[in-house]
Every structure is written in structure tokens, then in C-alpha cells.
A and B are shown apart, each in its own frame.
Chain A
């Protein structure tokens, strides 16, 4: 048995026996180990006490009963009213059932008391589980409710490897719109690449034309010359950014996140991780810890190129930026979860485990990366020196201001991913298992290309208007 919770709120789950259900006679489950990912997701398996033997059909058996007093009656009514449903696992296959239902005509609350398991087997493996709830009983004070179950075993042709296919909603994820959006984004990528290459070609050709003309002018003319656009600000573009620590930390973290996303998607495509509880989260944490040298390397080398001296501060903050954000959010949510007694509350042991991973894995690996980055590529190689006095930035139209460019720059990448976002949101917040990680990889690559192209175009416009605040 796993959890029980209201149907529209997928993440609000409680332990199954927080409702006054009663366990069956069998007390022990043979073996079960909780992984870190499961603990963090609030998966808290408890044994339901139902005795099911392999390939042994079971007649309708009463396994326990509950006498409804005022307290348990209120709990049950509340659960039924809020469409509570429960989730249980049988040989790692999830099974869902609804707690009860409301009769609209006489405003009475009913509880399903009989669970009928239809279990399909292929060879010596369970490949299919269906749960039917039957025998509803009206909730009344002082009534004795008897819970019963029956088991029917049937041979099935489903292969053991394919047993999760039933849960994957192909008509939802492989809908025409999904394909269409990918195609659409792809066209956008082609268009953008064309735009970028056109800009580059045009600028370069102009420049070469001007250079060849320059040869004919004398030095005097060149100093007064008609340079305009981005060439005038070459002395300012490599000025050190404001808040160099923050910028290098953000960029280092960005590199790490991109690497983690890429590897997790690849692992998921090949490992079919979505079939196991919490294994996606475990893998992400593991990959994140393992790729922290990437963070250190890029953050550290960038900071060294900016000429920064406080590299230990930079290193520590880049190691802990994302973990601190995640832990901060989790901490706040945890408080509310504890107030509600939800099973989402993260147990203390898992918190200690995560803290240990941060301190003893991520921090040393980031240190290694930072030292490597500072020594291997810490030298700034700017093609021209920086002027000592910053140039004033000329007046320009409102849509050329950096704020506007920032706002416009996000629209195209967002447009390329927002359909995929819908699918990802739906799989996370509603009851779908996301399995089309090939699509996700494609969208990830498209997002990369689109963002890069858009920024090149933006920077070109910005620098061309003699603004070096890129």
C-alpha cells in the first residue's frame, strides 16, 4: 500500500493508514528497500496485509472490519467528499482505486469495501493488475464496515518487458499536435540559422570592403574616419562585467544543468527509468553530483578571465547555488507538509543524506573543476585592450534598450518549447507517465539552438547601436 490523497492534487498524498482503514492479517512483507529518490518523493510503502499467493485464486474473503465511530466517520466522509483515491503497488505495478463516492440524489456518502484484483500472469511473472472496487456501503454512524477482497488469476499474453505499456498514454503523447510543434520549432531553427548566417555574412563583407578602402586612406583620415556601429566600441566590450562572481556562478551552474539534463535524458531513453518509483530523481541527483566539475571548470575559468581574485568564494557559491535553492524550497514546503501530516514531508535521514552529498561529493568535485578551469583556461584572450574611460552610450530608440532586448529575447525560445512544456507539466502534475524522452531530447537541442541564435541576433543589434552593455 502506498498513499491516499485527493484526486486533483497529485502531490498532496497521505499515508494510506491515515484514513481509518484496517490492515489484513499478514504482517510481514518479504523484502523491500527504500531508495533515496523514493524517500524524497514521499513514497512510503506500507504493507496492506492482504495475503495474495501466486496463481492461487481467492474467493471473496473478509479481511477485517471497522466500527464507524464519530471520528472515523468524519474522516471517511471528508475523504469521499474530496475524491480521495489510493495507490498501491503489486510487484512494482501501480494500481489505483477510489475510496468512495457521493450519491448526488440523496447526498449520502458511500464507501467501496470490496477490492477485486484481476491479475494477469505470463510464465512466472505478473504482467497485469486490474483493481475493481465493488460493494459500496453507505457511511452511517455506528455501522460495522467489513472490508473484503478477492483475487482472480488469468494467463496473459503480455510480455514482462512490455508490462508498463498499458500505463503509457500513446494517444496523448504521440498526438498530431506534438509532432506538429516539433516540426514548427524545427522550421524556426532553420529560419534563425539562416538569419544569423546572413547577418554574419553581411557584416563580414562590409568590413572587408571597408578595410580594403582603408588601405587607400592615410592615417589622418582613418583616425577621423567614418567608423560606426560595433567597431567603435571595441575598447569597451571586454570590460569586466558588474558582479563577476554572480555571473560566473550563474553560467557555471547553467553548464552543469545543461549537462545533467542531457545525460539524464540519454539515460532515461536507454534505461526506461520511468517504470521504477523514484529512480528518475535518484539518477538526477547522482548525475548532478558527478558533473559538478563541469560547474567548477566553466565558472572558475570565466571568473579567472574576469580577473577575479576571490576564487574560493566563487567556488563555494557555485557549488551551493542550486542545492541551496532546492533545499530552501523543499524546507518551506516541508513545513507545510508537516502541518498537514502529508507523506511528502521529507524524513530527516534523507535530508542528512542530501546534505552529505553536497558537502562530501559536490564541494570537492567543484574544487577540482575550479582549479582545473583556472589553470587550463583562466587566461583572458581578448583581441583588443580595454579603454580606461567608458564611452558614453548614444541615444537610441526604445526597442534597442537592453531591457526591451531582454524581454524580446525570451519569446522565441519560449515559443519553441511551450507545447513540450504542456506535456511535461501534465505528466508531472496530472496522472500521465512521461515516456517520450526522444521528443524531449529533440526539444532540448532545438531550445539550445534557438537560444544561441536569438542571442547572437540580439547582441548584434545591441552592439551595432554602439551599446556595449551586452
Chain B
């Protein structure tokens, strides 16, 4: 019984107050997925350098977008 409550508490404390931030930030995850689609079907890029460049910069862009959207969702519900 104690262990059940304990594990439940760990789960709770792991997620506490992050859901709304993540709900906003998940927008950027979708954008990153879209960038994969864009890379493979819309462009003709090739070579290691350009590929790394593309995905590196897209990751940065999506991280920034994620911070921004997460901020929006958290700030309005806090």
C-alpha cells in the first residue's frame, strides 16, 4: 500500500505543473516533423554538410518556437 502511494507520488511530482507548458511546446515538435517532410519531398539537398546544417538549424528554430509557445500557454494559465 505504501509503495503504491509512493510510486504515485513520484509520478505526480515528475509531471507537476509542466503539462500546460508542454502542451504549447508540442507545437514545435509538429513543426520539426514537418521539416522532415519538407527535407525529403520538397528539396533536393544532398551531402553531409547541408543535411547537418538543415537539421541543426531546424532544431534550433523549433526549440525557440517551443519556448515561445510554451510560454504563451503557461503564462495565460498561471
Genuine A/B complex: yes
Chain A residues with CB under 8 Å of chain B are 6, 8-9, 11-12, 239-243, 247, 250-251, 253-255, 257-258, 261, 298, 302, 322, 325-326, 329, 332-333, 336-337, 340, 342, 344, 390, 392-393, 402, 405-411, 413-414, 417-418, 421-422, 425-426, 429-430, 447-448, 451-452, 454-456, 458-459, 462, 468-470
Provide the main secondary structure of the chain A interface: helix
Q: For residue A329, give the distance in angstroms from its CB to the closest CB of chain B.
A: 5
Q: Are B24 and A455 in contact, with the CB atoms below 8 A?
A: yes
Q: Are A242 and B70 in contact, with the CB atoms below 8 A?
A: no
A253 to B67, CA, bound (A): 7
Q: Which chain B residues lie closer than 8 Å to A340 at the CB level?
A: 49
Q: Are A247 and B45 in contact, with the CB atoms below 8 A?
A: no
Identify 28 residue pairs between A and B in the complex whose beta-carbon atoms are under 8 Å apart, listed by A's number.
Answer: A6-B47, A8-B43, A11-B50, A240-B17, A251-B67, A251-B71, A254-B69, A332-B52, A333-B52, A336-B49, A344-B53, A393-B8, A393-B12, A405-B19, A409-B22, A409-B23, A409-B24, A410-B25, A411-B30, A413-B69, A417-B27, A451-B24, A455-B20, A455-B24, A456-B77, A469-B15, A470-B20, A470-B77
* Known A250-B71, A257-B64; contact A239-B50, beta-carbon cutoff 8 A: no
Q: Which chain B residues lie closer than 8 Å to A11 at the CB level?
A: 49-50, 53-54
A92 to B24, CA, bound (A): 41
Q: Are A422 and B38 in contact, with the CB atoms below 8 A?
A: yes
Q: Are A325 and B63 in contact, with the CB atoms below 8 A?
A: yes
A418 to B65, CA, bound (A): 13
A391 to B47, CA, bound (A): 55
Q: Which chain B residues lie closer than 8 Å to A451 at the CB level?
A: 24, 27, 69, 72-73
| Other contacts beyond A253-B67, A411-B30: 7, CB < 8 A | A254-B71, A329-B57, A340-B49, A393-B12, A406-B23, A409-B27, A410-B25
Q: Are B73 and A452 in contact, with the CB atoms below 8 A?
A: yes
Q: Are B56 and A448 in contact, with the CB atoms below 8 A?
A: no
Q: B9 — nearest CB in chain A belongs to which residue?
A: A390
Q: Are A241 and B44 in contact, with the CB atoms below 8 A?
A: no
Q: Are A242 and B49 in contact, with the CB atoms below 8 A?
A: no
A243 to B16, CA, bound (A): 9
Q: Are B31 and A421 in contact, with the CB atoms below 8 A?
A: yes
Q: Are A336 and B48 in contact, with the CB atoms below 8 A?
A: yes
Q: Which chain A residues lie closer than 8 Å to B73 at the CB level?
A: 409, 451-452, 454-455, 458
Q: Which chain A residues lie closer than 8 Å to B35 at the CB level?
A: 425
Q: For residue A300, give the distance in angstroms from its CB to the closest CB of chain B.
A: 14
Q: A257 — nearest CB in chain B belongs to which residue?
A: B68
Q: Are B68 and A241 in contact, with the CB atoms below 8 A?
A: no
B1-48, CB < 8 A from A: 5, 8-9, 12-31, 34-35, 38, 42-48
In-complex Cβ contact of A12 among B25, B26, B47, B63 (8 A): B47
Q: For residue A5, give the distance in angstroms from its CB to the closest CB of chain B.
A: 9
Q: Are A407 and B31 in contact, with the CB atoms below 8 A?
A: no
Q: Which chain B residues lie closer than 8 Å to A329 at the CB level?
A: 56-57, 59-60
